[in-house]
């Protein structure tokens, strides 16, 4: 794609020029546990996995680190198209900004359903390829599951289960959490996995066939909030999951979770979009 829809907000607060990105990194990436991509980190990765080097890499770690940081700068500022393109240009090493940006852009800003599905599927395929090259990187597995999960929602969860996609999502999320037990976004995604299956096929079949349960959903949602109490998505998706499972029976809790999400101060473009979504649910 080349005609990317713009981020519908002034990105000035989210630009993170120069060393600001490094300083903001721990809070910006508390949810996905992505390590700061400096030269030392990239050198360590390439020593373990030399095949991860992008095509034409000449050993210039400083330029490589700068390019990867710039892809993340684009993501945080809402320039999702640049983040995708910049990440893809870096091959497996750029999988995280490219695939996170694709999923967020497709979900929030792309209105055409076919384009959404293409973006989700392309990102899940890139992530799956990255799991082969960087098997110890929790986010290769997480972004595979994240984008495959969004794709499943776009075609219907029941159809995705028929295609065997549900099992692939769960396996990738569990692998991500094995590698990074405090990966809050993976906990949220696994909570949604359990909630959506219980919602679509019922508790008995969900448990017997897919190992899904309402209790497990809540455990993962609560863990995500404990790890990232200031992340709008952790609260909002917990609310979504509770409504899938319980409907109006726990509507007050669902509403409280949306309110909490809507009142949080966004730290980047993704969180701004999440806050806006929470506010829309309350209208």
- Residue 1 in contact with residue 112, Cβ under 8 Å? no
Position 191 pLDDT exceeds 80: yes
Average pLDDT over residues 4-31: 96
* Per-residue confidence (pLDDT) for residue 33, from 0 to 100: 98
The band of 210, judged by pLDDT with boundaries at 50, 70 and 90, is confident
pLDDT of 120 reads: 97
Q: Check residue 24 and give its pLDDT.
A: 98
Give the confidence band of 205 by pLDDT, cuts at 50, 70, 90.
Answer: confident
Q: Are 221 and 187 in contact (CB under 8 A)?
A: yes
Say what the pLDDT of residue 40 is: 98
Q: How far apart are CA 159 and CA 261, in angstroms?
A: 30
DSSP 185-203: HHHHHHHHHHHHHHHHH-H
pLDDT score recorded for residue 206: 67
Q: Rounded CA gap, 262 and 254, in Å?
A: 12
Distance from C-alpha of 166 to C-alpha of 15, rounded to nearest angstrom:
36
Instruction: Decide which of 155 and 223 is more confident.
Output: 223
The model's pTM is 0.95
Question: Mean of the pLDDT values across residues 146-159?
Answer: 87
Whether pLDDT at 59 is above 80: yes
State yes or no: pLDDT of 1 exceeds 60: no
Q: Say if residue 39's pLDDT is above 60.
A: yes
Q: What ranges do the domains of the chain cover?
A: 1-134
What is the pLDDT averaged over residues 131-142?
A: 98
pLDDT at site 91: 97
Q: Could you read off the pLDDT of 252-266 as tens digits, one per residue?
A: 999 999 999 999 999
| Average pLDDT of the residues of the chain | 95
pLDDT of residue 53: 97
Over pLDDT 70: what percentage of the chain? 98
pLDDT of residue 199: 85
pLDDT exceeds cutoff 90 at 180 = yes
| Mean predicted confidence (pLDDT) in 230-258 | 97
Closest by CA to 195, choosing from 184, 206, 185, is 206
Residue 204 has pLDDT above 80, yes or no: no
How far is 99 from 94, CA to CA, in rounded Å?
8
| Tokens standing for residue 59 | 């050993």
pLDDT at 212 over 60: yes
Tally of CB atoms within 10 A around 174: 15
Average pLDDT over residues 56-64: 96
Q: What Å distances lie between residue 264 and 55, 78, 199, 277, 282, CA to CA?
A: 41, 18, 28, 12, 14
């Amino acid at each position: 794609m080349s005609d990317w829809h713009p981020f519908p907000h002034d990105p000035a607060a989210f630009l993170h020029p120069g060393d600001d990105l490094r300083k903001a990194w721990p809070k910006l990436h508390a949810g996905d546990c992505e390590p700061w991509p400096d030269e030392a980190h990239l050198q360590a990765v390439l020593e373990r996995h030399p095949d991860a080097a992008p095509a034409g890499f000449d050993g210039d770690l400083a330029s490589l680190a700068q390019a990867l940081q710039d892809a993340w700068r684009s993501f945080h500022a809402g320039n999702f198209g640049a983040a995708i393109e910049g990440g893809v240009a870096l091959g497996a090493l750029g999988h995280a900004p490219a695939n996170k940006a694709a999923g967020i852009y497709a979900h929030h800003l792309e209105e055409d359903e076919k384009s959404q599905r293409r973006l989700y599927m392309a990102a899940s395929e890139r992530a799956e390829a990255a799991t082969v090259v960087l098997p110890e990187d929790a986010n290769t597995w997480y972004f595979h599951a994240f984008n495959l999960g969004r794709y499943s929602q776009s075609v219907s969860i029941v159809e995705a289960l028929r295609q065997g996609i549900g099992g692939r999502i769960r396996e990738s999320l569990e692998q991500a959490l094995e590698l990074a037990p405090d990966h809050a976004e993976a906990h949220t995604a696994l909570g949604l996995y359990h909630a959506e299956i219980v919602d679509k096929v019922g508790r008995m079949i969900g448990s017997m066939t897919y190992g899904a349960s309402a209790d497990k959903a809540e455990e993962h949602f609560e863990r995500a909030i404990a790890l990232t109490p200031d992340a709008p998505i952790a609260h909002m998706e917990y609310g979504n999951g509770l409504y899938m499972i319980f409907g109006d029976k726990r509507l007050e809790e669902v509403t409280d979770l949306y309110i909490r999400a809507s009142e949080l101060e966004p730290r980047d473009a993704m969180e701004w979009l999440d806050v806006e979504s929470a506010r829309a649910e309350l209208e």
